[in-house]
């Protein structure tokens, strides 16, 4: 009997605290906002390896029962700039939203930078309840979830009596904290509210930047439908979370699309100002040997391992001179410039060959920091890291 209480009953009670309240009901608001085109983390460091739509979808699929009843919301600014790669991201993001069955998605500042025609086709393919203050969309939608009636809007004036009112906005806290009539406001301004703010009966939460964590706001209602209590939690989306295979499929399509951006083989190469390490080796062979022992020499195969060797956003730090005149273009056209080569640190060698007395790019910590950023290399420490790559 004691065994039964300890190991069976107690965990059950802890899992379902609402059972003991009788009349009260709970609703989970599961939300993202301000994801800014981050489809998935780069995986450069385990310390920053959080988030991504495949894990988000995997988490939801696995915890659907535990979360129900819940509504799933994105409060806007989920995409990046309107560039060819930005468009591919937007497409993949919408597909992921549709697989996860978002109940409401706000199109705000970043989304408004794309032409309407770009979205209209995509929204036919992916069923997504969009709200926006752009004239082509509705500003509010009503969601019914079990006994709950929810009004989700982007218009601060559109709250509705008798419903749970949720406002989605990209305005900062300072501009919205005095609004009346809203039970919950979800921000996508980029501000991080580690804990919800409670102002005059309104609960204000923010999306976690880059979607590294999923917000879960649990509202508990009394029998009259008033919010009694709220709890908030950030669900971390780490490597331990099983990915959703359909979202992963969408991401693979995205990777293929992105790799296509650099496949323009007819594009003439700029005059080679970058030479590649085998050229340097003709005169500095011992330096090539020591470099080969560093992880820089395997930086491109790290991208190949994760299927990202065609992604300009990754290539720029895992090759030499990408985006610069005469630097890396793609693995086919410029195979000699894959990896973090000599010239990624010393600068292009073209002029060096014409005049050895001309100094190359001076070596300093700032050279490393172009690639070793807070998010890609949180453990970066110049003396310690330098020691590991010094020519010996």
Q: Which long-range contacts (CB under 8 A, 24 or more apart) does 224-233 make?
A: 227/164, 227/183, 227/203, 228/24, 230/196, 230/203, 232/195, 232/196, 232/205
- From 11, 42, 32, select the one nearest 312 (Cα to Cα): 42
CB closer to ligand HEC, 155 vs 302: 302
Instruction: Tell the smallest beta-carbon distance from residue 269 to ligand HEC (Å).
Output: 17
Closest distance of CB 256 from ligand HEC, Å: 15
Shortest CB 244 distance to ligand HEC, Å? 19
Nearer residue to ligand HEC within complex by CB, 51 or 76 = 51
Residue 204 or 320: the one with the smaller Cβ distance to ligand HEC is: 320
Nearest distance from residue 322's CB to ligand HEC, in Å? 8
Q: For the chain, where are the alpha helices, taking DSSP H only?
A: 2-4, 10-15, 53-67, 84-100, 116-125, 173-176, 245-261, 277-292, 299-305, 312-318, 342-346, 350-354, 365-369, 382-389
Nearer to ligand HEC, 34 or 310 (CB): 310
Residues contributing to the site for ligand HEC (CB under 6 A):
42-45, 275, 277, 279-280, 282-284, 287-288, 291, 295-296, 298-299, 302-303, 306, 308, 311, 313-314, 316-318, 340-346, 349, 352-353, 356, 359-360, 363, 367-368, 370-373, 376-377, 379-380, 385-386, 388-391
* CB nearer ligand HEC, residue 193 or residue 389: 389
Closest CB 14 distance from ligand HEC, rounded Å: 37
CB within 8 Å of 180: residues ≥ 6 apart: 159, 200
Query: What is the rounded CA–CA span in Å between residue 121 and residue 188?
Result: 25
Whole-angstrom distance, CA of residue 131 vs CA of residue 111: 11
């Amino acid at each position: 009997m004691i065994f039964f209480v300890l190991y069976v009953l107690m965990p059950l009670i802890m899992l379902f605290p609402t059972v003991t309240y009788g009349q009260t009901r709970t609703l989970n608001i599961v939300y993202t906002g301000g994801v800014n085109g981050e489809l998935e983390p780069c995986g450069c460091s385990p310390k920053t390896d959080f988030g991504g739509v495949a894990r988000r979808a995997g988490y939801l699929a696995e915890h659907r029962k535990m979360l129900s009843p819940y509504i799933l919301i994105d409060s806007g600014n989920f995409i990046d700039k309107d560039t060819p790669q930005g468009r591919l991201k937007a497409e993949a993001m919408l597909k992921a939203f549709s697989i996860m069955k978002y109940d409401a998605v706000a199109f705000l500042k970043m989304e408004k930078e794309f032409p309407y025609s770009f979205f209209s086709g995509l929204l036919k393919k992916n069923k997504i309840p969009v709200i926006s203050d752009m004239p082509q969309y509705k500003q509010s939608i009503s969601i019914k979830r079990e006994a709950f009636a929810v009004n989700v809007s982007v218009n601060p004036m559109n709250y509705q009596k008798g419903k749970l009112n949720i406002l989605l906005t990209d305005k900062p806290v300072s501009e919205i904290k005095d609004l009346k009539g809203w039970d919950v406001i979800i921000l996508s301004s980029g501000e991080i509210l580690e804990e919800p703010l409670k102002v005059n009966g309104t609960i204000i939460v923010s999306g976690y930047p880059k979607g590294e964590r999923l917000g879960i706001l649990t509202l508990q209602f009394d029998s009259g439908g008033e919010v009694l209590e709220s709890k908030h939690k950030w669900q971390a989306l780490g490597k331990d979370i099983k990915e959703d295979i359909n979202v992963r499929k969408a991401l693979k399509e995205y990777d293929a699309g992105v790799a296509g951006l650099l496949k323009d083989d007819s594009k003439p190469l700029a005059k080679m100002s970058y030479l590649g390490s085998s050229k340097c080796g003709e005169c500095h062979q011992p330096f090539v040997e020591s470099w080969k022992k560093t992880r820089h020499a395997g930086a491109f195969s790290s991208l190949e391992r994760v299927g990202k060797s065609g992604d300009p956003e990754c290539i720029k730090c895992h090759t030499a001179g990408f985006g610069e005149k005469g630097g890396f273009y793609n693995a086919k056209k410029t195979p000699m410039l894959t990896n973090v080569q000599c010239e990624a640190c010393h600068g292009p060698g073209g002029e060096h060959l014409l005049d050895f007395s001309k100094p190359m790019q001076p070596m300093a910590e700032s050279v490393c920091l172009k690639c070793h950023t807070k998010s890609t290399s949180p453990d970066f420490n110049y003396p310690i890291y330098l020691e590991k790559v010094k020519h010996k």
